[in-house]
Amino acid sequence: MSYCLNPVCQKPRNAEDAKFCQNCGAKLWVGDRYQALEVIGQGGFGRTFLAIDKQGQKSDRCVIKQILPRSLGLNSPGAPRIGDLFQREVAQLTELGQHPQIPRLLDHLAWEDGFYLIQQYIEGQNLEQVLEKEDTWSEAQIWELLADLLPVLQFVHSRQVIHRDIKPENIVRPRSGSKLVLVDFGASKYAEKTTARTGTLIGSAGYVAPEQAMGKAVFASDLYSLGVTCVHLLTGIHPFDLYSVSEDAWVWRQYLTQPVTSRLRKVLDKLLQRGLSQRYQSAAEVLQNLPAARSQPTKSSHPSGLWICDRTLTGHEGEVTALSISPSGRTLASGSRDKTVKLWRLDSGELLHTFGGRSWSNLWSNISGSTLGHQDRISALAFSRNGRILASGSSDGSVKLWDLAKLTLISTLPGHGWEISAVTFDPQSFLLASGSGDGLIQLWEPETNELLANLAQHQERVSALAIHPQGQLISGSYDKTIRLWNLSNGQVIRTLRGHVDRVSALTLTPDGSVLITASWDRTIKLWDSQWEQLRVISAHRDRINCLAMHPTGKLFASGSEDNSIKLWDIASGSRLALLRHSWGVNAIAFSPDGQRLVSGSADETIKIWRRTEEICTEKIF
């Protein structure tokens, strides 16, 4: 396809072999040589196109920067001649292009009613695209970004050039090559040599330094924009939402998805100082505050390793809402909005059996106990400690116990009509606990169907249950509280508060030393053995639905409505891995050997992620 460069053309797309626009009649090839394919950027001073050099090889892609004199305000009396400015810009870009992390200037020409710069095309993704694909950045990635870009800015500033538009879209991660590339020089430099009107903003809103917004950019203005870029990548939030107008200060720390060291905080805070005298004055000064980096081969000894999707299981006809893995690690149970419970071989993904749900069409049938299934979506699953019984809770208000050897229903526990929202077996006994939508927790003796106790303190839905190794029951609720119960007398021992929205999930380290809770407020909280808050992690961009503890107790996983699964280091709170579904993640579970992580999603699939050992060379800071 060929793209018309006439800025007022209403139908700019043309056939690939066309030399004149079918709509406006304008010539399509710049200088009868460079063919624009598509617009890849647009600003106040012109447009940028992906193009092909028709005199080169078919694969010789380049970038056309179109500069239109009327867009530069050069018609006012006393304004510099556009030709003179263009030649100065050509000389400047020729010199800057000598740096390996700045695109080279390949050609320049005045053509038709505009001026054109032809530059090297850097194949890759800009950092805004990387952020959308990979989610928020880690501290190590930010250090690497600073180490990559500060020498570039040092070079640029030594040529008496101020970039003026540093932001994630203007930093490219090349497909080939290890260092980031700084792009989009040129158009703003024309404004520096012209008489810009008061109020003209050069740069991108949210990223520009205060003095630059007043038309008085200095070298430190680029450093300010680099700092804003860093906090945007760390948080995934636009700078407009990271600055508090009422406090006249940056508030980026409260939006971190993983903790950062005090060293990085100090560097970023100084980059973001609004007062020029308090900010870094040069790129060299910032570089002096960067930690030394060393490269060494490393092999992952942490149980995080590298997680890859081993297989995707399909078969449910509704979103997957619950998962559980048998103590032996051989069998996976899944529940769905389609009312069914399915049993799978974890190692091969083979479907072993389906406990069908009840509907009007099969209510009176008599097929292998299928009519004894649930009448509404499955909301919770749990294996008994010997792996012979599976408990399933449903929105129909019932808890059913299934014999996994005979694949038959053992019994339905008498409920009180509210949705069952959580079930768990005591790993040390045969006790079963169930929680429901009205806030009630019930304790059962499954062998006799005897109701042992009603625990009624929560004011809203019980969302999660766990048994502490010392024998206490822990519950989380939509009433924003976490409660610790004495199972012998049913009394509340402790009530924890801290989440500002519904508590949606909880999990414990195997030794019970750390409790982890998650909420719709998008945060994860870690509590110590004295039930004091250890750490808060701003973990996801949407509500968190589920948590799972790795059997080593060194890491845990969280699943969210934002389609992602994240693995976290318990000791540091840092993020170890990011995995994705196409829709929200409702349930996750680690296998007993820690080698597999299973996730269920609203996209109706189950993914089995396998841990692999990774040997790599990486930068250690």
pLDDT tens digits, 449-463: 899 999 999 999 999
Per residue, the 3-state secondary structure of 434-492, as one string, reads: EEECCCEEEEEECCCCEEEEEEECCCCCEEEEEECCCCCEEEEECCCEEEEEECCCCEE
**Which carries the bigger pLDDT value, residue 259 or residue 223?**
223
Query: Across the chain, how many H-helices and E-strands are there?
Result: 9, 43
State which fold the 124-291 domain adopts: Transferase(Phosphotransferase); domain 1 (1.10.510)
Residue 65 among known ligand-binding residues: yes
pLDDT of 430 reads 83
List the CATH code of the domain at 2-120: 3.30.200.20
**Which carries the bigger pLDDT value, residue 543 or residue 206?**
543
Q: Which of 32, 135, 148, 165 is catalytic?
A: 165
What's the angle, vertex CA 324, arms to CA 430 and CA 606, rounded to 5? 170
Q: For the chain, first and last CA: distance in Å? A: 46
Q: What region, left, alpha or beta, does residue 54 occupy, with left being phi > 0 and alpha being psi -120 to 50 degrees?
A: alpha
Confidence of residue 43 (pLDDT cuts 50, 70, 90): low
pLDDT of 204 reads 82
Reply yes or no on whether 479 is catalytic: no
One-letter amino acid identity for 616?
C
Whether pLDDT at 219 is above 90: yes
pLDDT, one tens digit per residue, over 548-561 is 999 999 999 999 99
The pTM of this model reads 0.60
Beta strands in 149-207 (DSSP E): 171-174, 181-182
Whether pLDDT at 360 is above 50: no
Query: Where exactly does CATH 3.30.200.20 map onto the chain?
Result: 2-120
Confidence of residue 75 (pLDDT cuts 50, 70, 90): very low
The answer to whether the Cα torsion of 193, 194, 197, 201 is positive or negative is: negative
pLDDT of 197 reads 43
- Closest to 459 measured CA to CA, from 429, 481, 490, 484: 481
The superfamily CATH assigns to domain 294-308+498-621 is YVTN repeat-like/Quinoprotein amine dehydrogenase (2.130.10.10)
pLDDT of 502 reads 97
Q: How far apart (Å, rounded) are the C-alpha atoms in residues 567 and 550?
A: 10
Mean pLDDT, the chain, rounded, equals 86
Whether pLDDT at 499 is above 80: yes
- Closest to 150 measured CA to CA, from 256, 38, 286, 258: 286
Tell the residue number behind the tokens 């993983």, with chain if given: 258
Whether pLDDT at 194 is above 50: no
Indicate the class that CATH gives domain 315-481: mainly beta
Query: Where exactly does CATH 2.130.10.10 map onto the chain?
Result: 294-308+498-621, 315-481
